[in-house]
Structure 1
Amino acid sequence: MIPVPDLDIAALIRTEIKAAIRSEFSPIKSQLNDLQKSVEFITQQYDDLLKTTNTIMDNYKTIKSDTTHLSTTVTTLTERLNNLEQHLRETNLEIQGVPQRKDENIVEVIKKVADVVSFRLDDRDILNCTRVASMNKDSKRPRAIVVKLCSTRRRDEFYSAVVRYNKAHSNSKLSSLSLGFGGDPSIIYISEHLSPVNKALHYATRIKVKELSYKFLWVRNGRIFVRKDEVSRFIHVKNQQTLDSLV
């Protein structure tokens, strides 16, 4: 046998070790390559998802801004419409509690009210008058009368005469009996003719001030005011938010 030099044996061992290492680590290298590709894929997917999320957030902010603007516009338009409806009623009075008859003459009923409260009301002062449908269809109360007068000044004078009469006759305020109707007397209520929105707000305000023991509630030119007592400042109830803030 020919002897093998030690150097050749060492080289052979190193070659075999390298081959063994390559053989063992080759699958690991392959797995690492696959893992790297997976990480790169996931990273790309994350980047795409991040871009999509950013796009969605940008769209959300735009939609939110548009919605806020739209809500503000709707609120503004609603207020303008309510103001217009109230303006169209600025010379009107609403009379509640007058018994209803099939053959009634509403103009004569209104003139009778004026006579009772000592207010001079001419035919030319009355532009129009009619019974209006009740918002509550199940209500058994007579339908209200709405009268349109020739001017806001005449409306205010007529209304003031009613207020003076009721103050002077605190124990026998204006009623169906005052107008000559038989049967059980019913109180006649006369007020400014409010728009549907203001009428609903006025109704809610009446409930609220009763709960909070406010002493004063009145309407002036379609606007609702309250006052807790004689020394408190008056509050203009503009909307439900104002009403909710009362304490």
Structure 2
Amino acid sequence: MTEEILATVKAIDNKQTELCKALLICQSTVNDHGWMLDNLSKFVSNAYDQFMDISREMSDMKINFQTFQYQLNALEQVSLRSTLEIHGIPYRQGESAMGIVGNVCRVLKARVDERDVEYAYRITFNGPADGRIAPIVVRFSRSLHAERLMKAKKLKRNLTTGDLGMQDCAPIPFFINFRLTTVNRKIFSKAWQLKKQGVIKCVWIRHGKIFARREDGMEKVHIRNEFEVDVLFAKAEISD
């Protein structure tokens, strides 16, 4: 009987020893996992910091790129300060763009000679014209000549194609504007649509710059990009 009890106690003691070993192994495993989790947490934290740094760098690069785009567009617009567009003069078979420009200068009594014109041509639309009259582009040797023609046209706002001697078609008003860059044409088109919808009061071009006035009596706004057109639209909605 005693021997059986001793054998049982010994067996229990052996099991306790094995259990202690198993617990030690578990403890070691838990410690290893804790170390791994701690390292993983540090790795995730470092990765997040790197992501935020990259995000800030990308944001700065985007701002710098947008600034560069604006400056490039502004420089391109400055290069067009001697170039005008004449709108509203119907096409005639065998016409001479240079002759039309000279006729416009004479009718407006602008102090501009045909010798001051570097070139003149009528734009060809890539897609369907949709009834639009293609404008005539004219570049002068100096911006002074372009400004003189613009001022002369402002003094005689109500002239039509009839005043140019075009008696074979119904007289329609013609307009002269500074030629815009591709970017500025998109901006002006977008702003003009807002004017047609009655969202803003008026839109105009002055020396290649686009201005708008949301309502009578309000200050004019210089629109430099499409985002500023959206801001103008949003402000109009809020005021309504």
TM-score, normalised to structure 1, is 0.80
Aligned equivalents of 1:32, 1:178: Cα separation in 2:
106
Aligned equivalents of 1:56, 1:84: Cα separation in 2:
41
Could you say which residue in structure 2 is the equivalent of 1:220?
A: 206
Could you say which residue in structure 2 is the equivalent of 1:105?
A: 96
Is 1:200 aligned to residue 186 of structure 2?
yes
Pairing of 1:1-247 with structure 2 (within 5 A): 19-134=10-125, 136-139=126-129, 141-166=132-157, 169=158, 173-175=159-161, 177-181=162-166, 182-246=168-232, 247=236
Alignment size in residue pairs:
230
Aligned equivalents of 2:191, 2:91: Cα separation in 1:
29
Task: Please report how far the alpha carbon of residue 192 of structure 1 lies from its aligned counterpart in structure 2 after TM superposition.
Answer: 0.9
Aligned equivalents of 1:188, 1:37: Cα separation in 2:
90
Aligned equivalents of 1:229, 1:50: Cα separation in 2:
57
1:53-75 CA-partner distances (Å, limit 9, x unpaired):
13322321232122122212211
Cα pair distance change 1:213/1:46, threshold 3 Å: closer
Aligned equivalents of 2:93, 2:198: Cα separation in 1:
42
Aligned equivalents of 2:160, 2:60: Cα separation in 1:
49
Indicate conservation of the 8 Å contact 2:112/2:148, yes or no: no
1:60-104 CA-partner distances (Å, limit 9, x unpaired):
123212212221221122112101110110111111233334522
Alignment identity in percent? 24
Aligned equivalents of 1:34, 1:186: Cα separation in 2:
97
Could you say which residue in structure 2 is the equivalent of 1:4?
A: none
Cα pair distance change 1:23/1:105, threshold 3 Å: same
1:174-213 CA-partner distances (Å, limit 9, x unpaired):
23x4433424555423211011111110111111233344
Indicate conservation of the 8 Å contact 1:91/1:151, yes or no: yes
Indicate conservation of the 8 Å contact 2:160/2:171, yes or no: no
1:105-132 CA-partner distances (Å, limit 9, x unpaired):
2111011122333334312321222223
Q: Secondary structure at the match of 1:214?
A: coil
Cα pair distance change 1:239/1:31, threshold 3 Å: same
Indicate conservation of the 8 Å contact 1:95/1:189, yes or no: yes
Task: Please report how far the alpha carbon of residue 156 of structure 1 lies from its aligned counterpart in structure 2 after TM superposition.
Answer: 2.0
Q: Secondary structure at the match of 1:89?
A: coil
Amino acid at match of 2:150: Y
Cα-Cα RMSD: 2.7
Indicate conservation of the 8 Å contact 2:210/2:224, yes or no: yes
Aligned equivalents of 2:160, 2:111: Cα separation in 1:
17
Task: Please report how far the alpha carbon of residue 14 of structure 1 lies from its aligned counterpart in structure 2 after TM superposition.
Answer: 9.9
Q: Secondary structure at the match of 2:212?
A: strand
Instruction: Choose 1 or 2 for highest CA Rg.
Output: 1
Q: Which runs of 5+ in 1 are unaligned?
A: 1-8
